[in-house]
Amino acid sequence: MPALPRRAALSLAIVLLGPLAGPLVGCASGPSADLYQTFGGQPGLVALVDDFMDGMMRDPDLRPYFVNANRPHIKAELVAQFCAILGGPCEYKGMDMKMAHARYGIGDHEFNALVQDLQDAMDLHHIPYRAQNRFLAMLAPYRDDVVHPDPPPRVRPPLTIAPDAVVVPETVPTGGPQNKPPPR
């Protein structure tokens, strides 16, 4: 089996150990104003989330989840959530992660793509590697709330039709022999 690149191996370890790390995150490596400032405070988080969302929109595995979504709302919720997690002066009041993601059928592949897009955005903003790792460790406990590969079919999001698609309505017969009443 080929060796994973260091970054991928670390991400995988964080995701797999996340549920175990949750209680520890609040102890030794919990949020602090310093970590929040390392991410640039509120302006830094807004810029980070903008680039994170742009990355997800370019990502063929994630784009379908966001095409018809209220992206400005999602960005605002992510900024508030990241701010609170990083020890900033924000309070996240959005939906709980399990409820927000249950209907989308997000599997491990999509979750890992999301983590990679977040890492790419953090790299773009020159967030130090150590701060990235601390943040990813803080996010890892949410993995089990986000990954739901088999949602009930009735709650899957509706199929999106491309704007340039031609939709032909089903024709309903209006006359002719097939609509004659049966003989008496």
Numbered residues of the known binding site for heme: 101
3-state secondary structure the chain: CCCCCHHHHHHHHHHHHHHHHHHHHCCCCCCCHHHHHHCCHHHHHHHHHHHHHHHHHHCCCCHHHHCCCCHHHHHHHHHHHHHHHCCCCCCCCCCCHHHHHHHHCCCHHHHHHHHHHHHHHHHHCCCCHHHHHHHHHHHHHHHHHHCCCCCCHHHCCCCCCCCCCCCCCCCCCCCCHHHCCCCC
Distance CA 108, CA 144 (A): 10
CA distances from 160 to 38, 55, 67, 146 (A): 39, 20, 8, 22
Q: Which residues are annotated as a binding site?
A: 101
Distance CA 16, CA 141 (A): 9
